[in-house]
Structures are given as structure tokens and as C-alpha cells.
Amino acid sequence: MTKPKILLARAVFPAIIESLSTRFDVATNQTDQVLTKSELIARLQGVDGALTTGSERIDSDLLVACPQLKVVANMAVGYNNFDLPAMTERGVQGTNTPDVLTDTTADFGFALMMATARRLTESEHFLRRGEWTKWRYDMFTGSDIHGATLGILGMGRIGQGIASRGAHGFGMEVIYHNRTRLDPATEARCRASYVSKAELLQRADHLVLVLPYSAESHHAIGAAELAQMKPTATLTNIARGGIVDDVALAAALKARTIAGAGLDVFEGEPAVLPDLLTLPNVVLTPHIASASGPTRMAMARLAADNLVSFFTEGRVLTPVNTVTSIVR
């Protein structure tokens, strides 16, 4: 029997390639070249399934050009690179990797928030430039985490993990806003109180963004929202680029409308708005919130397991769409 053919669109752990090769005809990209749309379409000719990352856009044009494609497994919890209506219409199953990165990402989000509040990057650069010559009472004074008000916009698994770390570990008052309010038991476990978005912006000492990207959440934080925040507040984004209007954020940071920002994601990444690179009161990281060795391996394994399950059992473990009809 001919093995199904799959494409691993980006570099992945050799152990994953070895495992998949026992079941599939595997095409790899271990040079980790980010494929253009035309290159991706060319590589997907005759391919039944693909393992992708956020850099591979699966849209209607690609699906029409790749009629054999049946399943795409994203090695990420987010899937805004998927045109889900188009995939569903053409009977292409999409999957993601939820749960396995929750704690690692919550850890990182909290670390990025703390680095921003305590001005770690700014002070490290000062030291490395050889400018530290004496102690001073107000040198790099930042804001406290313990006892502060933690605001969370987007209260899914990762948001709940951050809330628990703040409430249980640092005695923070936790407030949140979500499209749907959590049930009372989950609120009690997280020690979190539901508030309106306006109240969240106005009260939070440290605002963390953990909401999924969509057309509705595009620029959920713009100039108007930043103007509602405290001038002493910080903003941390570990969600997706595009949720924050980076131009408005750079202007607010420059004007000290807010005290600082910690950013792991950006509009148009890997490009970063040049103004953000010049500001001292922003901590910048290259989309690495889930980047621990065990977690990245777990993400890759879950993506691979979704491909295996699809072709051996006719179902997937973590679907992001429901395929009811196949149009070829």
C-alpha cells in the first residue's frame, strides 16, 4: 500500500521525522527556509497532509492549487494562519496544539511582565555600556508585582495560568475581561474577578494580553485604550501580533502614557516596528513564550500525532474545524 505523503513545512526535531517516516512518505525542510506562498504550493503538490507553523498561510488560493491536501496540523495553539471557512468548505481538517504549552507560556508571560515592571532590560543595557559607576536611591526604580492589580485580557487556559501565579504566588488582586465570563468555580480557583474592558484598563497596574487573534480582536489595544491606562501601568503581550496597534503603543511609550511594555509578538513579525527598537522602556523577545525544550517537543509530537490519527483512525485529537463535506 502506498504511504500517504506529508510535508513538514519547517524544521522539526529529528525524532519527529524518524517517527513519522515509519508511516508516511515524508518531505522535510530542515534548512528551515520560510517558504513563500508559491514555494509552499509547489511543495504541497501531491501531498496529503502537512505539519505547519504560524508562518504558513493556508488559504483558499492554496487549497484550490493543492487539491490532494486533506489535513494540516499546526505546531502552535494559535491558528490565525488558517482560513478556516475555506478549509472547511474544501473538507480540509485543521488541528492545533492546545494544553501542552499552557504552563510554559504562562511562566514566560509572568517573567516578561516582571522584567518590564522592574526594568531589567533597560538596566542590563546600562550596565553593559559601562555606565554604572555608583548606587543611587532612584536608579531604575520600577513598580512592584506583589500586591499590585493584575489585569488579564483573554481568560483562556494561559490567562488562567497567569492569574493563578499572580494571585497565589504574589498576592495580586486579579481582574479580567473575557468575551464570556468564567464560571464561579474557575473564578474562585484563579481568585479572579470579572470586570468590563474599560474598568480593566483603568485599574490594572500590569495588563497582560492573552486573547486569540481574530478580525474582532485586531487592534483591541490602540491609542484610545492606552489612554485609559495608568501612567504607571505596564502592558505585556504574549498573544498575537495585531492585537496591539504597535504604532500607537510606541507613541504611548515615548510619551510615557504608560510606564513600559513587554512584547513577545508583533505586527508583521519577524519585522519589528523600528520605533519600538529605539525605546528604553520596552522589553522585546522573538515570539518565544512556549520555547522550553520539553514543551516544543510536546507541541511537535501532538502535531505529528494529529497526522497519524487522521490517516489511521479517520479523526484528529485537537481539531479546530469540523469537516462535514469534501469538495474536490
Contacts of 226 (CB under 8 A, 6+ apart): 235, 248, 249, 252, 257, 258
Does residue 219 sit within a domain? Answer: yes
91 and 113 both lie in a single domain: no
What average pLDDT does the segment 75-99 reach?
Answer: 96
Q: What share of the chain is helix, strand, coil (3-state, %, to 5)?
A: 35, 15, 45
- Indicate whether 325 belongs to any domain: no
Q: How confident is the model at residue 325 (pLDDT cuts 50, 70, 90)?
A: low
Confidence of residue 166 (pLDDT cuts 50, 70, 90): very high
Domain co-membership, 186 together with 276: yes
Active centre residues (catalytic): 240, 269, 287
Q: Among 247, 292, 299, 253, which Cα is nearest to 53's?
A: 299
CATH number at residue 242: 3.40.50.720
What is the chain's mean pLDDT, rounded?
Answer: 96
Angstrom distance (rounded) from CA 309 to CA 184: 36
Are 79 and 199 members of one domain? no
Domain residues for the domain of 236 are 102-284
Average the pLDDT over 25-42 and give the result.
98
DSSP E strand stretches across the chain: 5-8, 25-27, 49-52, 71-74, 93-95, 149-153, 173-177, 192-194, 206-209, 234-237, 260-263, 282-284
Q: What is the mean pLDDT of residues 62-68?
A: 97
Is pLDDT of 326 > 60?
no
231/233 Cα distance (integer angstroms): 6
- Find out whether 23 and 3 touch, Cβ atoms under 8 Å: yes
Q: Is the pLDDT of residue 327 over 60?
A: no
Position 328 confidence tier, pLDDT thresholds 50, 70, 90? very low
Please report which confidence band the pLDDT of residue 69 belongs to, taking 50, 70 and 90 as the band edges. very high
If asked whether residues 36 and 176 sit together in one domain, one would say no
Q: Give the H/E segment covering residue 106.
A: helix 102-117
**Domain shared by 85 and 51, yes or no:** yes
Is residue 165 located within the same domain as residue 30?
no
Count how many domains the chain has: 2
**Which among 284, 116, 142, 258 has a CA at the least distance from the CA of 201?**
258
Looking at the domain assignment, is residue 148 inside a domain?
yes
Determine the pLDDT at residue 177. Answer: 98
Amino acid 10: pLDDT: 98
CB atoms within 10 A of CB 104: 21
221 in any annotated domain: yes
178 and 66 within one domain = no
- Same domain, yes or no: 112 and 237: yes
Task: State whether 28 and 123 are in the same domain.
Answer: no
User: Angle at which helices 102-117 and 157-164 pack, to 10 degrees?
Assistant: 50
Question: What percentage of residues in the chain have a pLDDT greater than 90?
Answer: 96
As a whole number of angstroms, the distance between CA 78 and CA 139 comes to 39
Per-residue pLDDT, 85: 96
Residues 170 and 275 in one domain: yes
Examine the domain organization and report whether 165 and 80 are in the same domain.
no
Does residue 123 register a pLDDT over 90? yes
Specify the pLDDT at position 324: 77
State the Cα angle at 186 between 244 and 189, rounded to 5°: 105
pLDDT in tens, 214-270: 899 999 999 999 999 999 999 999 999 999 999 999 999 999 999 999 999 999 999
323, part of any domain: no
